Structure 1
Amino acid sequence: MGSFMKVLFFVGAFGLGSFVFYNAGISNPSVRHRECGDRPERVGKFRKPRMIGGEDVSVDVWPWQVAVLYQPNSSVPFSQVCGGAIIDDYWIMTAASCADVQNQRKLLIRAGSSRLDVDDEFTQSLQVARIIKHELFNPVTLRYSIALFEMETPFVFNEFVYPICVPDNMAADHKLSCHITGYNAQPGGDIGVLQEANVFIMSRSLCNKPAYWNYTVSADMLCVGEYGGGVDGCETNLGGPLNCFVEIEHRYYLIGIRVKATSCGEPNRPNIYLKVYSLYYWIEREMNISFH
């Protein structure tokens, strides 16, 4: 049965509160995906200067978060180039810019880790069998910046590796609580540590003002962050998820994927995310499965 969402953004006095509603829909997942996004709501006030503005967190809180690793040649180790999210046992979603590789064998998808320098019994590292990039992707405007990576072998779902729900575009009304997540280097080092930050979704009209992104934010994009800057994930979080808890469904949905990785943490430069629900039917068609 379809549930519902309609967009409105309100910030309370002195910016102390916010409610986000927007034009997206949520349908109950199919039997195959009925447990997707099944985690308690995170009510975060994380403002430590790391993510930028994030805090370390265990991977069992965000078990769909993955790191996209790349190895240009055999003489260097794999290193993180993007983030992504598990949406099915064989599939992850990321930004189209993360799919610009000549050989998918040079990619490795890592899941189940709170730190990228630690392999434990829960870490899963999978090879990529196939890459599907949206045929209308524009690297200049960043329209249609979405890619699907199919794994050679399936993820083994457990407490630390788990899919997030994919929203459809039916109309509905829901209050959303949203976090950005990703692996970020610690001060003075380059070790990726999983972090989270609570964020707000800004109105597109505000985000497109000349002092902000100057009319470059298209209708299929979302602006995410804080008015004064300071909450961001920067380069290696390109393709990372915008995780939003839908209270009526008691689960998390992949509302957006990050498509821009410049001007990190600067005032009036909120993160830009693709609206995943705007391409719901493309996702279903390319994966040849149904999320309903």
Structure 2
Amino acid sequence: MALLGLLVLLALARPGGATWDTCRGTCGLRPVASDHSSLVSDYETSGSSRVASLVKDSPGVPPGAWPGVVGIQSALENGTWHMCAGVLIQPRWVLTVARCFFRSGDASIYEVVIGAIDLGEPGPNAVLRHIQRILLHPEYVAATATSNIALVELDTPVECSDYIQLGCVPDGSLAVPELRTCYIAGWRATPASAPSPRLVLQEAKVRLMDAQLCNSSRWYGGAVHPQDLCAGYPRGGIDTCQGDIGGPLVCKDNDGDYFWLVGLASWCRGCSGKKRPGLFTSTQHFHGWIQAQLGSTPAQKPTEPALIPSLTPPLIPTVITEAPEVELDTSITVSFPKDILLRFFGTLQDFLDFLRDKIDG
């Protein structure tokens, strides 16, 4: 009973009821809407004949559906303009494409919106950061979009939440071509008929396509680089377009409930055309360069898939310190880190709430 009382107190004492208060070195999670994108229709099998870049007539994705995506804007004399997208990969670092900064490499004119769906009304879950430094890949060639990748250092770190998470950059051990469920996202204008058109985040399901096919004579005719990925559909209809550059291409892990950031929207010929799928900079290809610039341990994929999408990251950290002792009635002493206990019972409480909602519903 003494142990049970302690467990109840710890469960009630979890900080603010929040379980996603920091990034904790975990990436690839979508705590609020991890099931949402599984409902996005597969364009190839939907029977639709409508051609569109992403889903341009959509009102946008639900809040939290893409917690790693950021909007990069330039503040100029004539207003603030959306330039491109990117993905948060460390609390202080955003990965995007070098093409985003074609107008100016002056970091002072840019700002980054993180955790927003509607760039016109970011909402209370979003944060704004200024850019401290821009690192373009040294082999970037603007004319051909070769090595089209860049890192952006923010002026202050970002704390993770349900609406802000880190993207997972795969290393060479991941067989990217074998990933089967992939999505793209980008900011598109709301329909012109809307009362006040705004840029809202939209998404679409795509398929990774064979690079040799994309590079064939009737497709891109040799213009696809070895560091590019090709994603979309042979008949077109779903693609990235202007305003989407730097946007993510993510694929769900075949075995776990997390997502890999495998590409960044780089370039294309036209939008949504037949035999003109989107081309994406392969983040795996530049994994070594990314790590060299960051000079720190990368965020890691979850060690175990979450049982319920909205629960916390893995409960076992890589380093355990300051473990308080808890005495059981049997006089056996077991050591647990307080941090693990707090998060465990916070998760347990969330799970019980989840079950109660299901029963009441």
**Structures share fold, TM-score greater than 0.5:** yes
Cα distance in 1 for partners of 2:52, 2:237 equals 10
Q: C-alpha deviations, 1:227-256, integer Å up to 9, x for none?
A: 111112211111111011103232111100
Deviation at 1:86, TM superposition (A): 0.8
Label 1:134 to 1:33 Cα distance change in 2 as closer, same or farther (>3 A): same
Deviation at 1:123, TM superposition (A): 1.6
Question: What's 2:229 paired with?
Answer: 222
Label 1:71 to 1:46 Cα distance change in 2 as closer, same or farther (>3 A): farther
TM-score (norm: length of structure 1): 0.83
Instruction: Within 5 Å, give how 1:1-292 maps onto structure 2.
Output: 32-39=24-31, 40=34, 42-43=37-38, 44-45=40-41, 51-53=53-55, 55=58, 56-73=60-77, 76-100=78-102, 101-170=104-173, 172=175, 174-188=178-192, 191-291=198-298
TM-score (norm: length of structure 2): 0.67
Cα distance in 1 for partners of 2:148, 2:122 equals 31
**Does structure 1 retain, via aligned residues, the 8 Å contact 2:135–2:150?**
yes
- Which of the pair is proportionally richer in strand? 1
Q: Secondary structure at the match of 1:196?
A: strand
Q: Secondary structure at the match of 2:286?
A: helix
Q: Secondary structure at the match of 1:198?
A: strand
**Does structure 2 retain, via aligned residues, the 8 Å contact 1:225–1:271?**
yes
The amino acid across from 1:34 in the alignment is T
The amino acid across from 2:29 in the alignment is G
**Does structure 2 retain, via aligned residues, the 8 Å contact 1:66–1:83?**
yes
Q: C-alpha deviations, 1:3-52, integer Å up to 9, x for none?
A: xxxxxxxxxxxxxxxxxxxxxxxxxxxx9523443453532216676643
The amino acid across from 1:275 in the alignment is S
The structure that has the greater radius of gyration is: 2
Cα distance in 1 for partners of 2:210, 2:163 equals 34
The amino acid across from 2:167 in the alignment is I
Q: Secondary structure at the match of 2:284?
A: helix
**Does structure 2 retain, via aligned residues, the 8 Å contact 1:81–1:236?**
yes
**Does structure 2 retain, via aligned residues, the 8 Å contact 1:59–1:194?**
no
- Unmatched segments (≥5 aa) in structure 2: 1-22, 44-49, 301-361
**Does structure 2 retain, via aligned residues, the 8 Å contact 1:99–1:147?**
no
Cα distance in 2 for partners of 1:154, 1:104 equals 16
Label 1:122 to 1:168 Cα distance change in 2 as closer, same or farther (>3 A): same
Q: How many residues align?
A: 260
Q: Secondary structure at the match of 1:232?
A: coil
Cα distance in 1 for partners of 2:275, 2:128 equals 37
Deviation at 1:61, TM superposition (A): 1.1
**Does structure 1 retain, via aligned residues, the 8 Å contact 2:187–2:201?**
yes
- Unmatched segments (≥5 aa) in structure 1: 1-30
Label 1:216 to 1:272 Cα distance change in 2 as closer, same or farther (>3 A): same
Label 1:104 to 1:281 Cα distance change in 2 as closer, same or farther (>3 A): same
Q: Secondary structure at the match of 2:220?
A: coil
The amino acid across from 2:67 in the alignment is P
Which shifted more, 256-265 or 39-48?
A: 39-48
Deviation at 1:122, TM superposition (A): 1.0
Cα distance in 2 for partners of 1:276, 1:119 equals 27
**Does structure 2 retain, via aligned residues, the 8 Å contact 1:238–1:261?**
no
Q: C-alpha deviations, 1:41-84, integer Å up to 9, x for none?
A: 532216676643464212301111111111232xx221111011
Label 1:177 to 1:46 Cα distance change in 2 as closer, same or farther (>3 A): closer
Label 1:98 to 1:269 Cα distance change in 2 as closer, same or farther (>3 A): same
The amino acid across from 1:94 in the alignment is T
What's the RMSD between the two structures over aligned residues?
2.1
**Does structure 1 retain, via aligned residues, the 8 Å contact 2:112–2:128?**
yes
Q: Percent identity?
A: 25
